[in-house]
Structure 1
Amino acid sequence: MTFQLAACAEMLWRDRPIDWRASRLKELGFGVGLWNWPAHDIAALERTGATFTIMNGYLQGRLADDEGADMLLKSARETAAVGKRLGVHRLNLHGTGLGDGGIPVWQHDKVTGPMWLKARDTLNRICDLAEELGVTYTLENLNLMEHPGCPFNTTADVLTLVSSVNRPQLRMNLDLYHTQIGEGDVIRWCQKCLPWIGEVQVADNPGRNEPGTGEMNYPAIAKALKAMGYSGPVGLESNAEGDPEVALQAFRNAFTV
């Protein structure tokens, strides 16, 4: 198998405890992705022995203003301690904190030049923290249809920030579901982002379900990723409205190339 496959536990088997979900993903040979940690029993998750590939690296804060940056750094330090307990490989960030339904807490229709400079400064501070603690952060692209007003949401925005910081402690979480909605031309975006990718996340569009349920040709995307030399983590963030294990097999089939 070319890629390191994982799946977001919080979107699967929603009637089961989170540690059961992590254990089941481990049994099926997948890594485990998480969102926010405060509602979880961290000790129970530790006992599963699962490989935790990614989780949100903050609880609150934002990139582009002084108050938000200070909140982000404080929250990131607290979250990194939890991440280290679980051995999480990557701690994920967004341009601003997300509230209920993924709606950005801090919305801006236009990002100004000073906001760009402040965001780059904040990400350099995140890299300093990551270097101190021995962790890695990713910055994720989103789409404005589902996350209206989110600053630095596009694939291009995230690539610009991560490449301008250009430090190994910060990579891209390239979410191809969001890229498809926001920009399309997914394979060429993979090529552009390749030097800075820390993780690729996937779901089909529309519906945010597993590969094969929508318009995205994931077997072709997987072959293209392999051809360009990517062999890193690929994480499924799927609603999996049917049987989660059927969804996981469809995911594995699409990315076994």
Structure 2
Amino acid sequence: MIRFSANLSMLFLEVPELERPAAARRAGFDAVEIQFPYGHPAERWHDALREAGVELVLFNVPAGDLMGGGQGLAGVPGREAAFRDAVDEAAAVARVLRPRHVNVLAGCPAAGHGRERCLDTLAANLAYAAEVMADAGVGVVTEAVNTVDRPGYLIDGTQSALDVIDRAGHANLRIQYDLYHMQIMEGDLIRSLRTHWARIGHIQFADNPGRHEPGTGEIHFANVFAEIERLPYDGFVGAEYVPSRRTEETLAWLEGRRR
């Protein structure tokens, strides 16, 4: 049985942030993820999650200016100190919220630096994050992102994600495999999952094109979800899509998995 999580930074936006864990629980989720939980004290998130009866399984390490279209932190030579501060901030939150994983966003190449140097910086920063989070009992993942939405992103495919993880050389690192991004960049989702499941720490999904809920695009989710169920994969599968309607009206895919 797949264990689904609801991304509270994209779903249930109809209610305030701290009310979203309860909204997710009412909709049938027992796990959630949050992109950046830093806008509220960790203790308030902890209370909201506990009262709703849901588990937090993932959040992101602070990524600097990345979400505003910048380069981020993780792959920028000369910004290692800022990245370490971001990891330390995430670790403090993780000690309160106890997620399964935190996600390090690789970002885009820094102006004036070659791509290989940025990848070396990213690998070293991933190794640092993996070590700090291991001390907190939390795994680290990093995600390949499509270059249609984010031109120039440092890791843009499954193999490039594996390559930088191997370069980092830490056992506490895995892939965050996003079906939406990899459908755009590679397709062949089922074969990729079969090949790499043991190195995947977290899966996310949205349909393509549009990044909306399953059934709005080209991905055959019934087959992909059935394959995930067949695999020995023991992580969560996160709904990280932009609802085309009210969130509750986009959950037919979840109801279908319960039958």
Q: Provide Cα deviations, 1:122-165, integer angstroms capped at 9, x if missing partner.
A: 22222221223322111011111111122123222112222444
Given that 2:63 and 2:74 are in contact with CA atoms closer than 8 Å, whether structure 1 keeps it comes out as: no
Whether the 8 Å contact between 2:14 and 2:246 is mirrored in structure 1 is no
Any stretches of 5+ residues in structure 2 without a counterpart? 65-71
Structure-1 residue corresponding to 2:94: 83
The alignment partner of 2:85 has SS state of helix
**Aligned pair partner of 1:240 in 204, 226, 243:** 243
Structure 1 ranges of 4+ moved more than 4 A: 106-111
Give the alignment of 1:26-175 within 5 angstroms: 26-27=25-26, 28-48=28-48, 49=50, 50-60=54-64, 61-96=72-107, 112-175=115-178
Identity %: 24
Q: For the residues of structure 2 that align with 1:256 and 1:189, how far apart are their CA atoms?
A: 25
TM superposition score normalised by structure 1:
0.86
Q: CA deviation at 1:178?
A: 0.2
The one-letter code of the counterpart of 1:16 is V
Q: Which ranges of structure 1 fall in alignment gaps of 5 or more residues?
A: 97-103
Q: 1:110, CA displacement in angstroms?
A: 9.4
Is the aligned partner of 1:8 residue 2:19? no
| Secondary structure at the counterpart of residue 52 of structure 1 | strand
Q: Provide the aligned length of Structure 1 versus Structure 2.
A: 247
Contact 1:236–1:251 under 8 Å retained in 2 = no
1:71, distance to aligned residue in structure 2 (A) = 1.6
- Aligned match of 1:199 in 194, 199, 202? 202
Does the 8 A contact of 1:55 with 1:90 survive in 2? yes
- What secondary structure does 1:67 align onto? coil
* 1:240/1:65 CA distance change after superposition, 3 Å: closer
Secondary structure of residue in 1 paired with 2:103:
strand
Please list the CA deviations of residues 201-226 of structure 1 after superposition, one character each: whole Å capped at 9, or x if unmatched: 00111111111111000110112222
Equivalent position SS for 1:10? coil
Q: 1:95 to 1:180 in 2, by over 3 A?
A: same
How far apart, in 2, do the equivalents of 1:111 and 1:192 lie?
A: 31
Amino acid at match of 2:231: M
Normalised TM-score (structure 2): 0.85
Report what 1:101 is aligned to. none
Cα pair distance change 1:115/1:174, threshold 3 Å? same
Q: What is the distance in 2 between the residues matched to 1:109 and 1:207? A: 33
From 226, 251, 254, the counterpart of 2:254: 251
Offset, 1:108: 6.7
Measure the CA separation in 2 of the matches of 1:74 and 1:175: 27
> Helix, strand or coil for the counterpart of 1:171?
strand
Aligned AA (2:253): A
1:181 is the counterpart of 2:184? yes
Label 1:85 to 1:248 Cα distance change in 2 as closer, same or farther (>3 A): farther
Q: Provide the alpha-carbon RMSD of the alignment.
A: 2.4
Aligned to 1:215: 218
- Separation of aligned partners in 1, 2:30 and 2:124: 35
Task: Using the TM superposition, give the Cα deviation of residue 107 of structure 1 relative to its aligned residue in structure 2, in angstroms.
Answer: 5.3
Q: Aligned equivalents of 2:89 and 2:194: distance in 1?
A: 34
